[in-house]
């Protein structure tokens, strides 16, 4: 399997890199893998009995904003402090060595691909980004950089005042992230990224495409569906799915049952 994956990487003209929460695990970030995974990452929410779905709810920013910003402020700080693992650089090395075109599609909101040096205009963040804010109302379609300092009381998982606010109307702001039951997310940034990705795919439709999927689970299957769509619709595309617990994919696509870093290192060793 690893040899086959290395052959696909060696022969590819174009790369699509798709990633879910598991891509961050080797950088030390938690994935959420059901309530138990979430509570292991956030024991305070286990005590409070809140699930990921309860926490990722836009209503908190109006009804209980220190709770809303507790979750997202903690994650902002965590993702700012994280150093992307070596796997991000291994793929970049392949791209640079081959001079290959690429696009990244991720459901992660953590900005780790940008941090690892991937170009902003080669990334689609399908659920938005924690590094951008919007008004909770929203009073306009404007989004802006998240340069807020957000101290958190880690016992209660509540943010301390003053909370981030909309510069236009003064309401508490929120991250420009698609949450659960979310009718106020401003999707324009993701839409523009998505159009760029579709143009990329049409421009390279006949080339040999290697889709490298890492850490994308079945719970919210957007990323897996994206990889599979490319794999089945493009004659010369092959998906390499790297996932320690949910690696299954139909041949001729390739399934590697290991972590992202381990899988990338194993492929790299054969190149």
Ligand X SMILES: NC(=O)c1ccc[n+]([C@@H]2O[C@H](COP(=O)([O-])OP(=O)(O)OC[C@H]3O[C@@H](n4cnc5c(N)ncnc54)[C@H](O)[C@@H]3O)[C@@H](O)[C@H]2O)c1
Which residues of this chain interact with ligand X, rule CB under 6 A? 20-22, 24-26, 29, 31-33, 107-110, 127, 214-217, 219-220, 242-246, 259-260
- By beta-carbon proximity to ligand X, the closer residue of 25 and 143 is 25
The binder of Zn ion chosen from 19, 55, 67, 135 (CB under 5 A): 135
Nearest approach, Cβ of 132 to ligand X (angstroms)? 13
Write each residue from 166 to 205 as x if it is in contact with Zn ion (CB under 5 A), else as -, in one continuous string: x-xx-x----------------------------------
Distance of closest approach, residue 66 Cβ to ligand X, in angstroms: 22
DSSP label at residue 110: S
Nearest to 252 by CA among 271, 268, 270, 236: 236
Measured from the CB atom, the residue of 23 and 186 that comes closer to Zn ion is 186
Binding piece for Zn ion, criterion CB under 5 A, among 11-19, 39-47, 100-108, 132-140: 132-140
Q: What's the rounded Cα separation, in Å, for the pair 124 and 114?
A: 11
What gap in Å lies between CA 208 and CA 62, rounded to an integer? 48
* Residue with smaller CB distance to Zn ion, 51 or 137: 137
Task: Please identify which residue in the block is written with the tokens 């926490």.
Answer: 55
| Residue 175: strand pairing partners | 133
Which 8-state DSSP code applies to residue 49?
Answer: T
**Least distance in angstroms from the C-beta of 263 to ligand X:** 8
Least spacing, CB of residue 161 vs Zn ion, in Å: 18
Give the separation between CA 184 and CA 175, rounded to whole angstroms: 11
Q: Which two tokens stand for residue 74?
A: 């903690």
Helix locations, 42-131, DSSP H: 43-48, 52-55, 60-63, 65-81, 86-98, 112-115
| Residue sitting closest to ligand X (CB) | 22
Picked from Zn ion, ligand X, none, the partner binding residue 48 (CB below 5 to 8 A depending on kind) is none
Cβ closest to Zn ion, residue 176 vs residue 227: 176
Contact between residue 58 and residue 136 where contact means Cβ atoms under 8 Å apart: yes
Compute the distance between CA of residue 4 and CA of residue 10 in angstroms, rounded to an integer: 10
228 binds, among ligand X, Zn ion, none (CB under 5 to 8 A by kind): none
Of the candidates 87, 113, 104, the one whose C-alpha atom is nearest the C-alpha of residue 263 is: 87
- The nearest distance, CB 147 to ligand X, in angstroms, is 19
139 binds Zn ion (CB under 5 A): yes
Residue numbers at the binding site for Zn ion (CB under 5 A): 135, 139, 166, 168-169, 171
């Amino acid at each position: 399997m690893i040899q086959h994956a290395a052959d696909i990487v060696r022969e590819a003209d174009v790369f699509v890199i798709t990633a879910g929460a598991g891509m961050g695990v080797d950088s030390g970030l938690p994935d959420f893998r059901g309530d138990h995974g979430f509570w292991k990452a956030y024991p305070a929410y286990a005590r409070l009995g809140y699930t990921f779905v309860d926490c990722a709810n836009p209503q908190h920013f109006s009804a209980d904003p220190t709770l809303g910003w507790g979750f997202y402020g903690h994650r902002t700080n965590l993702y700012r402090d994280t150093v992307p693992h070596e796997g991000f650089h291994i793929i970049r090395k392949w791209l640079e060595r081959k001079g290959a075109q690429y696009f990244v599609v991720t459901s992660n909101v953590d900005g780790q691909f940008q941090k690892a040096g991937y170009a902003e205009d080669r990334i689609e963040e399908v659920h938005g980004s924690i590094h951008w804010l919007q008004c909770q109302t929203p009073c306009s379609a404007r989004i802006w950089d998240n340069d807020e300092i957000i101290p958190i009381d880690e016992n209660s998982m509540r943010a301390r005042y003053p909370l981030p606010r909309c510069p236009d109307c003064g309401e508490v702001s929120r991250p420009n992230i698609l949450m659960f039951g979310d009718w106020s997310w401003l999707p324009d940034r993701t839409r523009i990224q998505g159009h760029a990705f579709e143009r990329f795919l049409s421009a390279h439709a006949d080339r040999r495409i290697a889709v490298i999927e890492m850490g994308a689970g079945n719970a919210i299957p957007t990323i897996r569906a994206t990889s599979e769509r490319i794999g089945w619709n493009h004659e010369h595309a092959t998906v390499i799915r790297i996932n320690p617990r949910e690696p299954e994919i139909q041949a001729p696509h390739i399934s590697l049952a290991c972590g992202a870093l381990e899988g990338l290192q194993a492929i790299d060793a054969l190149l």
